[in-house]
Amino acid sequence: MEPKIGVYVCHCGSNIAGTVDVEKVAEFARTLPAVVVARDYKFMCSDPGQDLIKNDIKELGVNRVVVASCSPQMHEPTFRRAVQEGGLNPYYFEMANIREHCSWVTEPGKEATEKAKALVSAAVRRVFYHQPLENKEVPVHPDTMIVGGGIAGIQAALEIANSGHKVYLVEREPSIGGHMMQLDKTFPTLDCSACILTPKMSMVGAHPGIELLTYSEVDYVSGYVGNFRVKIRKKARYVDDTKCNGCGTCMTKCPVKVDSEFDERLSKRKAIYTPFAQAVPNVTVIDREHCTYFLKGKCRACEKFCERNAVDFQQEDQILDIEVGNIILTTGYQQFDPTPVKEYGYGRLDNVITSLEFERMVNSAGPTSGHVLLKNGQEPRSIALIHCVGSRDEKYHTYCSRVCCMYAMKFAHLLKEHVHGVQVYEFYIDIRSFGKGYEEFYNRVQKEGTVFFRGRPGEVTDVAQTPEEKGKLIVQFEDTLVGKQRRLPVEMVVLCSGLEGHKDAQDVAHTFNISLGKDNFFIEKHPKLDPVATMTDGIFIAGCCQGPKDIPDTVAQASAAAARVLALISKGKVEIEADTAFIDEARCSGCRVCNLLCPYNAISFIEKDKVSRINEALCKGCGTCVAGCPSGAITHRHFTDQQINAELEGILV
Amino acid sequence: MRYYAYYPGCSMEATGAPVEKAIKTIAKPLDIELVELKDWTCCGSSPFSGVDKVKAMAITARVLAQAEKSGLDLVTPCSSCYTILHEANDLMKEDHKLAWQVHEALTTIGLNYNGTVKVRHIVEVLYNDVGLEALASKVKRPLTGLKVACYHGCQQVRPEYGYDDREYPDWLDQISKALGAEPVNFPLKARCCGSSLVISETDMALDLIHRLLENASDNGAQTIVSTTCPLCHTALDAYQPAVNSKFKTHFNLPVLAVPQLIAVALGFDFKQAALDGNIVSPRKLLNPYFNGKAPAATDKEPAQKAAA
Amino acid sequence: METKLKPDFLDEVASIPACGKINECIQCGVCSGSCTTAAHWEYPPRKIIAMVRAGMKDEVLNSSSIWYCVSCYLCTARCPRDIKPANIMHALEAIALKENYKPPTKTTTMYRSFARSIEQNGRIYEFGFMLEYFLKTNPFAALKMLPMAFSLLTHKRMPLLPKAVAGRHELNRMFQNISTGGYR
């Protein structure tokens, strides 16, 4: 079919026409080879503008369309649709960007018009060589996997399961709940954290649509949006979860005591244990690194006393192979360990504690039954809370951890509640109380008598300079609002340490083929407009694994990710853009250079044919393999050498 | 034999003389050869930086340029010199205008500096190049039962140029332990002695020195083992009587620079270890060790709550 | 007392080597909170930086504050923005000396004597430099130091004669070159 090209030069109001002489450009276009019609129009993206194209296709037999207007990011889909509605394959269309690339960045005058002409000429020559292409459609598997069973994962799981679709919820700890389970009260409402979380946990545990895989990790992921294959390792609990009813007898009989991770090492658990009383599932697990049987071959007390014969030392890890259409990562955060901040004395001085340690202490189900206590067992009469530990700091994390100001104020409130007559001092650089009810909470805490000092302390020391300081922890700081260095003796110091990405975030990113930022949090597709998607279609992120945030924002993101997944499931299929690469197997020498070059793992080597083959659903059309192939065997649809060379000619001629 | 270019610094010829002598004493037995730079001049550290930064950096660069010619690592015992030499190296890499000005100045005296000198501290050389094991193996007089407070001072550890920890360093503690001594907890081990202002703000400096002596004494130290910095040694040693006079205290804490301690442990005599240069005399404290009647070790694991 | 603000002061300070990051200060106060001698500063280090940013050149350079910096570098080690307050203080000292400000402190004299000792000898001649300093400021204060000076002398830690090294000529050539280069 002989190419008959229609060129449409848009004025875009005065955006283009104010700088470029659009009529001259259209006049020029008429002189180009194979152009049968060239028009200029005020707003090509409008309905009448689009109709111009459709009419010319019908009446003048135009079979290639060039629109010279704005960026393809704005209206490529619009014009491709118009072309398609006119009866042509949408890939017979090319856009010349004479706005962002020309009129917006050039002074008005001859130069701008000449550049626009060159861009149009390039587009015309290119579109001559366009081929009809079809977008592929792949089906979307209706099951979803959610990795991480904290509040984000729980929320997303319930949203999806409640819509009638199956969810696999994978959690690496023995129980779901995450860090939220460790908290005492939540700001600003002062809801008891466990009280609002456990009902959701129970729902997850009881939901017929959620397959709960705790004490499990994802080993391997392959596939593409709508069709992922995942290998999940269910680690051996050495307890049969179909038999164990969580009665707890084994725990009372076990002789081994281990620092409790859930209680931030402030109390002990047993080698056979559930991490906390309200664990879901309420099934124990044996920690083989500390269990006497695994270390020395003796004991087995738990097995002896279990009335349900649930203990099974022969249990092995189980590998599950599942297929899902979409994955949501809700792997959460870990707390910044303030040990390297030597000037604050964590680990060296008694009674300097972290925020999670404080949460456990003030929690009535915690190691001290809700009493805030010094190492000597007494209640403190004065406490300092230091903000921004490990955050906003070039030496540790440059970002602000967002929640610390609020939880520090929450601590102040709880202290006034729990310890009669206690004096509470907060040391801050800025107060970030940005959310709904947060500023009011700040005001409330001030009313309750907590004193706020603006000044990040230089150090916490036990070296007294006066008799009043003896035996105390001295916070040395500048009261910047007064302009003098001061030393404040207190009995306890709480370091409000920040949130950071998990130490194995790099491995997780690699497993799921998503990007990790410099700050060790996963990278979203767009920080403002697409915070729950990633550059890998079908993989979504929600909650603190994307960046530090409070519970309201976490829940909102989890629901957002769930909605995105449900949209894909509901549509049932996903369109893959046609500009993918393909390998001419006759030319392929089997060198496999392309296999390693592909950033999306889209190319595999077919042993029996000794050639490489591209999975078009995974291919994102980046072109790296095309450039790298030493045999020139790979073609990039819609970006062929012929098309690109033609485009260059158009500019140079 | 390990060779190093050596830059003693101005104070080593005067107030730091005993420290310098002790370093020379222990160098040979530890297979260290210190090749002193010829015709060296001041390093340009504070207070010179407080007069003119560019001129200060230029004279620092002269030292570096001389050292570069030797092709050896540049070792210095003075903490002030150590920190300014590192600072010059770093600043000239980032601040091109400064680098150009310094280069111009160097060419007027026929020198050139290409930024290749590795600046090291004599204590770091003892810790890393000689090593604790080698040191321990050469000990003839284990200093058992000697309770020491190890003082690093500030400029050796801050800003960070790869020497130990910037808040709670413990290399001197480890060296002391390797010699058989018992380091005590000493929270102010890396705090300032005030010697850079001891001439013009004597009272203020005496306050700071008093704090250090008190902290060491409160923690049970019999002696302070100081780093090789001549300013720190002088502050704690020579000014100790002035502190006692001002605060009506009775500190009698001999201040042994670490090479002096090593010299004693390696078997050298009082004079060879330059202990006769100390103003607070260590004779009474160290006599048992010289007479072969060292007390027994008190703890298997010395009581030290140093930060890990 | 109403003083005039000097808006160029911030740029002047920022252009001195090692002081470029002064603009990034978030005024958190860690420097002042860590400062070993903060009790003596009329305006603690953080406030000095704020005053530099405000262009309060005369207040800063007429105050004795910056002259109490002992270069312990606790501020520099702990600053969350990697700013070097100690270097900034020394840079301000240099400006004060060049422009002949007279803050109420003897440390200015001490620095000048120190610099002169280096120019004359190539190295610090401790006895001479101290002598010059005490004669210029308060000879009676020197008497208080006498016992200590005496014990240093008897312990061979205070050479009485200067040892001018040949290198001093090279230093002075470099100083000449820099002075005429004019980097400001």
Q: Note if the bond before C80 is cis, omega within 30 degrees.
A: no
State whether residue C6 sits within 8 Å of chain B by CB.
no
Distance CA A126, CA A653 (A): 13
* Contact yes or no for A391/A519 (Cβ under 8 A): no
Let me know if A446 is exposed, middle or buried by CB neighbors in 10 A (0-12, 13-18, 19+): middle
Q: Using CA coordinates, name the residue in chain B closest to C98.
A: B51
Phi-psi region of A392 (alpha: psi -120 to 50; beta: other; left: phi over 0): left
Neighbouring residues of A73: CB distance < 8 A, sequence distance ≥ 6: none
The answer to whether residues C111 and C81 belong to one domain is no
Interface membership of B103 toward C (CB under 8 Å)? no
Q: Does C139 reach chain A within 8 Å, measured CB to CB?
A: no
Residue A578 CA to residue A576 CA, distance in Å, equals 6
Note whether residue C1 is domain-resident: no
Name, in order, each residue with C-beta under 8 angstroms of A377's C-beta and a sequence gap of 6 or more: none
Task: Answer whether residue C45 is part of any domain.
Answer: yes
Tell me if C3 is assigned to some domain.
Answer: no
> Mutate which of A337, A343, A344, A348 to disrupt the B interface (most B C-beta within 10 Å)?
A348
C partners (3+ CB pairs within 8 A) are A, B
Report how many domains make up chain C: 2
Pairing mode, if any, of strands B32-36 and B74-76? unpaired
pLDDT at site B89:
95
- State the Rg of chain C over Cα: 19
Distance CA(C34)–CA(A485), nearest Å, equals 9
- Cβ of C77 within 8 Å of Cβ of B159? The answer is yes
Same domain, C43 and C122: no
Maximum pairwise Cα distance, chain A: 99
Q: pLDDT tens across B79-125, in order? A: 999 999 999 999 999 999 999 999 999 999 999 999 999 999 999 99
Neighbours of C152 (CB within 10 A): 23
Neighbours of C99 (CB within 10 A): 9
Q: Which residues in A209-224 are b (16+ Cβ under 10 Å) and which e?
A: bbbbbbbbbbeebebb
Which amino acid type is present at position A332?
A: G
Q: In this complex, do B204 and C37 lie within 8 Å of one another by their Cβ atoms?
A: yes
- What residues of chain C, 50 to 89, have a C-beta less than 8 Å from chain B? 68, 70-74, 76-77, 84, 87, 89
Task: List the structure tokens of A505.
Answer: 């975030």
Residue C131, domain member (yes or no): yes
Strands A272-273 and A285-286: antiparallel
Range list for CATH 3.40.50.11810 in chain B: 140-290
pLDDT score of C140: 83
How far apart (Å, rounded) are the C-alpha atoms in residues A206 and B288?
A: 77
User: Rounded to 5 degrees, what are φ and ψ at A220?
Assistant: -155, 140
Q: How far apart are CA C108 and CA C100, in angstroms?
A: 10
Mention every residue, 6+ apart, whose C-beta is less than 8 A from residue B15.
Answer: B230, B231, B233, B234, B238, C126, C152, C157, C158
Structure tokens at C181: 């280069």
Q: Which of A269, A307, A308 is nearest to A289 (CA)?
A: A269
Quick one: which of B115, B104, B144, B92 has its CA closest to B299? Answer: B144
Write out pLDDT tens, residues C60-84: 999 999 999 999 999 999 999 999 9
Domain extent at residue C67: 9-98
Phi first, then psi: give them for residue A90, nearest 5 degrees: -60, -20
Structure tokens at A469: 């300081």
C30 assigned to some structural domain: yes
Which domains does chain A possess?
A: 5-133 (3.40.50), 144-235+319-333+506-571 (3.50.50.60), 249-305 (no CATH), 335-500 (3.50.50.60), 581-637 (3.30.70.20)
Domain B2-122: which CATH number of 3.40.30.10, 3.40.50.300, 1.20.1050.140, 3.40.50.720: 1.20.1050.140
Nearest residue in chain C measured CA to CA from B19: C157
| Ranges of CATH 1.20.1050.140 domains, chain B | 2-122
A470 interfacial to chain B (CB closer than 8 Å): no
Q: How many whole angstroms separate alpha carbon B42 and alpha carbon B56?
A: 9
pLDDT of residue B65: 96
User: DSSP states of A68-123 as a string?
Assistant: EES-HHHHHHHHHHHHHHTTS-TTSEEEEE-IIIIITTS-SSHHHHHHHHHHHHHH
Q: Does the beta carbon of B101 lie under 8 angstroms from any beta carbon of chain C?
A: yes
pLDDT digits (tens, 9 = 90+) for A8-52: 999 999 999 999 999 999 999 999 999 999 999 999 999 999 999
Tell the burial category of B92 from Cβ atoms under 10 Å away from its Cβ (0-12, 13-18, 19+): buried
Contact in structure between A112 and A20 (CB atoms under 8 Å)? yes
Positive or negative, the CA dihedral A409, A415, A420, A426 is negative
pLDDT digits (tens, 9 = 90+) for A148-196: 999 999 999 999 999 999 999 999 999 999 999 999 999 999 999 999 9
As given in the structure block, the two tokens for residue A268 are 């002990």
Q: Residues B28-86: pLDDT tens digits?
A: 999 999 999 999 999 998 789 899 999 999 999 999 999 999 999 999 999 999 999 99
> CB burial class (10 A; 0-12, 13-18, 19+) of residue C42?
middle
Query: What was the pLDDT predicted at C128?
Result: 87
Asked if the Cβ–Cβ distance from A392 to C26 is below 8 Å, we say yes
- Sign for the CA dihedral angle at A521, A523, A529, A534 comes to negative
Mutation to test the A interface, candidates B152, B167, B215, most A Cβ within 10 Å: B167
Distance of CA A343 to the CA centre of its chain: 33
- Nearest-Cα distance to chain A for C79, in Å, is 8
The whole model's pTM is what? 0.88
Q: Check residue C3 and give its pLDDT.
A: 67
Reduce the DSSP state of residue C32 to 3 states and report it: helix
Check if the beta carbon of residue C128 is closer than 8 Å to that of residue C159. Answer: no
Cβ distance of A477 and C33 shorter than 8 Å: yes
pLDDT tens for each residue of A55-109: 999 999 999 999 999 999 889 999 999 999 999 999 999 999 999 999 999 998 8
CB A426 within 8 A of CB A409: yes
Gap between the Cα atoms of B16 and B21, Å rounded: 9
Helices A641-652 + A110-127 axis angle, to 10: 150
**Nearest-neighbour CA in chain B from A329: distance (Å):** 36
- Cβ-Cβ contacts under 8 Å between A and B: the total is 19
Cα distance between residue A11 and residue A23, in whole Å = 9
* Under 8 Å between Cβ of B135 and B176: no
Give the residues of chain A that fall short of pLDDT 70.
Answer: none
**For A395, which residue in chain B has the nearest alpha carbon?**
B160
Is the pLDDT reported for residue B304 higher than 50? no
Q: What CATH number has the domain spanning B140-290?
A: 3.40.50.11810
Query: Per the CB < 8 Å rule, is C34 touching A394?
Result: no
CA–CA separation, A354 and A359 (whole Å): 9
Judge if C89 and C115 occupy the same domain: no
What percent of chain B lies above the pLDDT cut of 90?
A: 92
Instruction: Determine the distance from the C-alpha atom of residue A67 to the mean position of all C-alpha atoms in its chain, rounded to a whole number.
Output: 37
CA nearest C177 in B: which residue? B105
The answer to whether A348 contacts B168, with C-beta atoms less than 8 Å apart, is yes
Name the residue in chain A with its Cα closest to that of C38. Answer: A485
Q: What is the pLDDT of residue A150?
A: 97
Q: Are A476 and C34 within 8 A, CB to CB?
A: yes
Q: In chain A, which residues have their Cβ closer than 8 Å to the Cβ of B165?
A: 342
The residue type of A415 is: L
- Global ipTM: 0.93
**Using CB atoms, which residue from C73, C114, C178 is nearest to B47?**
C114
The residue among A119, A86, A84, A87 whose CA lies nearest residue A100 is A119
Residues C17, C93 share a domain: yes
- Mean pLDDT across chain B: 93
Instruction: Take residue A397 and report the two structure tokens written for it.
Output: 């994390």
Residue of B nearest to C85 (CA): B159
Cite the beta strand spans of chain B per DSSP E: 2-6, 32-36, 74-76, 119-121, 147-151, 182-183, 223-226, 255-257
How far from B72 is each of A451, B62, B88, CA to CA, in Å?
A: 57, 15, 18
Q: Does position B307 have pLDDT exceeding 70, yes or no?
A: no
- Residue C171 is nearest to which of B59, B194, B197, comparing CB atoms? B59
In this predicted structure, what is the pLDDT of residue B303? 45
* pLDDT of res. B301: 54
Record: contact C28-A395, CB cut-off 8 A: no
> Who among A342, A343, A348 is closest to B305 (CB)?
A348
What is the residue whose two structure tokens read 């001061």? A486
Task: Give the C-alpha separation, A119 to A32, whole Å.
Answer: 12
Question: What's the rounded Cα separation, in Å, for the pair A412 and A39?
Answer: 70
What's the pLDDT tens digit per position in B182-201?
999 999 999 999 999 999 99
- CA distances to A453, A578, A595, B92, C47 from A616, in Å: 59, 9, 14, 52, 62
Instruction: State the distance between the two ends of chain A, measured CA to CA, in whole angstroms.
Output: 26
Q: What is the mean pLDDT of residues B288-298?
A: 89
Rounded Cα gap, residues A121 and A68, in angstroms? 10
Kindly tell me if the per-residue pLDDT of B308 is higher than 50.
no
Percent of chain C with pLDDT over 90: 74
| Nearest CB to C80; choose among A392, A455, A457 | A392
Average pLDDT, chain C: 92
